[in-house]
Structure 1
Amino acid sequence: MSDEISPSSSNSKPARGGVLGKLRGYFIAGILITAPISITIYLGWAFVTYVDSKVTPLFPAKYNPENYLPFGVPGLGVVVLVIGLILIGAFTAGFMGRFFQRSWEGIMDNVPVLRGVYKALKQILETILAQQSNAFREAVLVEYPRRGMWVIAFITGKTQGEVQSLTEKEVINLFVPTTPNPTSGFLIFVPREDMVSLSMSVEDALKMVISGGIVTPPDDRPQDERPKNVVRSTENTSTEE
């Protein structure tokens, strides 16, 4: 009788393990679905609430629709901010706007500390927002911090000025982001031939950096192109030669 009971008792454990495994899988799947949605909605709502709290109090009482409605109007401050920026852009495109901009820049040129900050921010924004700019529009692989180790970097522009004149080869400005915060990182100057262009989009490369490699985009290159683009260390190449 003991022999008949033991098989039934041993089979009950995998059954319980299978149920628990399925529940664990469903739980993880629920997190993967709800977490990105919840975080995105939360960040968007936090941004809208912050802008509304700063812009809405600037309305005169008689022009504020919230004084006439029994409920608040979320996003009203964002709409007003966007319209205001469009009007400012249209104003600066005219004669008076250009005159005001030249006068403001003339004032800033005489302020010792703020002029450097103002010019740097203006140049960065003009470079990023310009339609013809190639900044952060291509992801590449580069060997760093030593030969045989690779990092994902983003092209920010072609090196010019004193840095380029002091180097023998043509070098490119690369921004190497850090994990998990891609807004922090460092700038390196790399010869063009030492970079390996990636076919993945900038968005996919950022996902890989932010996740620390957990999220890895698939290789969407055609099958016949993959064997040709095998990345090898330049140090090993020179040794073999």
Structure 2
Amino acid sequence: MSYDHERTFSSDFKRFFLRGLVVLLPSVLTLWIVVMAYQFVDKNIAEPINRGIRLALNNASRYPGPLADQFNATELELNAEIARLAIDRNMVASRERVREELQRQFADPTRDELPQITEDQINAAIADRTNVQRAFNREAIRAEIRRTNIREWWDARWYMNLIGLMVAIVAVYTAGRLLGGYFGRKIYARLEKLLTTLPIFKQLYPSVKQVVDFLFSDEQPMKFNRVVVTEYPRKGIWSVGFLTGPTMKSIASKSGDAVTIFIPSSPTPFTGYTITVPREEVLEIPISVDEAIRFAVSGGVLIPDHQSLEELKSDPVRVLEGQRKTADASAGVKVPSSDELGGSDGEVRENSEKDQDRKAD
């Protein structure tokens, strides 16, 4: 039976809105993941290194030279900062009161108008008063202004934030080169032996090292490029997994030739189950690891094109129904259609209910 649905604004809006989500959401999510990853690396790796570089610039600018001329505070900047602090702490009534005092001080008796007082003169007058009172440490304020100037100069150049990331990459590469040699391996072995004697550290370090070696070591590369299927968790249920390697010796002595498989969970494939099964119960399938992960994340919706069944793609309900009827027929069970039962689906349901009532009586 077919139904004619009238097209309304709400149905059209829903249809086009969902179509827009399908088109835009993958790009938006990909961009969001890239931005979040960059922000994480920038905050936790690059920024600490950048702070160290800015600290080195601050220390170097204390001495005469180009850096001192670039970042050190001038007397005008120093007086302005001292005046601001004095007013914030109510050490001076107001800038206008200081202006009036200076106008009376520099007034010319022969002229009627008062002299013009600049902001720099007001700042200098307030700074002189606080210097007499020894209210502020001028060198500490000068150092704070220098740090502020360095930070403003750094923030005005966005590419400076990449220095920390570049330094981290070069440092890791250099460490790999140094520790890859004979003397480097000796030093690293001694350091590793020392770390395994420290409390708490000795419980965590060996496990973390094994995981890191498994993922990144080039001496024992991770053989995680074979996708297999096996009947798990019971016979008749096929699960897609990754062949990780041979099993442990104790298991092999009992089960014979066996392999270890990681079965990912949906929709989070980084969690799952590690199982050991006989090698003859494992079938390798010709799909990549990425395709298998997409299959797990989507709950089996995203099937590789070269593995999809065309008839199942066109009408999965009809195909599964046909397979069920074929199985029932092979088992000797006749599945009558609604026409054979003499009526529509509603009539069939009604007749079935009457039969049940008759049996109950």
Give the TM-score normalised by the residue count of structure 1: 0.73
1:42 counterpart residue number: 32
CA contact (8 A) 1:176 1:187 kept: yes
CA change 1:65–1:207 in 2 (3 A) is: farther
The root-mean-square deviation of aligned C-alpha atoms, in Å, is 2.9
Match of 2:48 in 1: 57
**Structure having the larger proportion of residues in helix:** 2
Percentage of pairs with the same residue: 25
CA contact (8 A) 2:224 2:242 kept: yes
Tell me if 1:156 matches 2:244.
Answer: yes
Structure 1 partner of 2:18: 28
Gaps of 5+ in 2: 59-149, 309-361
After superposition, what is the alpha-carbon deviation per residue over 1:193-229, rounded to whole angstroms, capped at 9, x for unaligned? Answer: 10111111110010010111121222359xxxxxxxx
Shift in alpha-carbon separation, 1:112–1:193, aligned structure 2, 3 A: farther
Against the structure 1 CA distance between its residues 201 and 22, is the aligned structure 2 distance closer, same or farther, given a 3 Å change threshold?
Answer: farther
Of stretches 108-117 and 170-179 in structure 1, the one that deviates more from structure 2 is 108-117
Q: CA deviation at 1:121?
A: 2.5
1:172 equivalent in alignment to 2:162: no
User: Do the aligned partners of residues 32 and 160 (structure 1) sit closer, same or farther apart at CA in structure 2, a change above 3 Å counting?
Assistant: same
Alignment of 1:124-163 (within 5 A): 124-131=211-218, 133-163=221-251
TM-score, normalization by structure 2: 0.51
Q: Which residue of 2 aligns with 1:192?
A: 279
Instruction: State how 1:5-24 maps to structure 2 within 5 Å.
Output: 14=6, 16=7, 24=14
For the residue of structure 1 that corresponds to 2:223, the secondary structure is: coil
| SS of residue matched to 1:219 | helix
Q: 1:195 & 1:22 partners in 2: Cα distance?
A: 48
Partner of 1:120: 207
- Of residues 152-161 and 194-203 in structure 1, the stretch that sits farther from structure 2 once superposed is 152-161
The 3-state SS of whatever aligns with 1:142 is strand
Bigger strand share: 1
Q: Which residue of 1 aligns with 2:184?
A: 97
Report the CA distance shift for 1:83/1:21 in structure 2 as closer, same or farther (over 3 A).
farther
Name the structure 2 match of 1:70.
156
Which string of whole-angstrom CA distances, capped at 9 and with x for unpartnered residues, describes residues 24-45 of structure 1?
Answer: 4443332122212111211211
1:93 Cα deviation from its structure 2 partner: 1.2
Q: Is the contact between residue 51 and residue 77 of structure 1 (CA under 8 Å) also seen in structure 2?
A: no
For 2:15 and 2:166, the matched residues in 1 are separated by 42
Q: CA deviation at 1:174?
A: 0.7
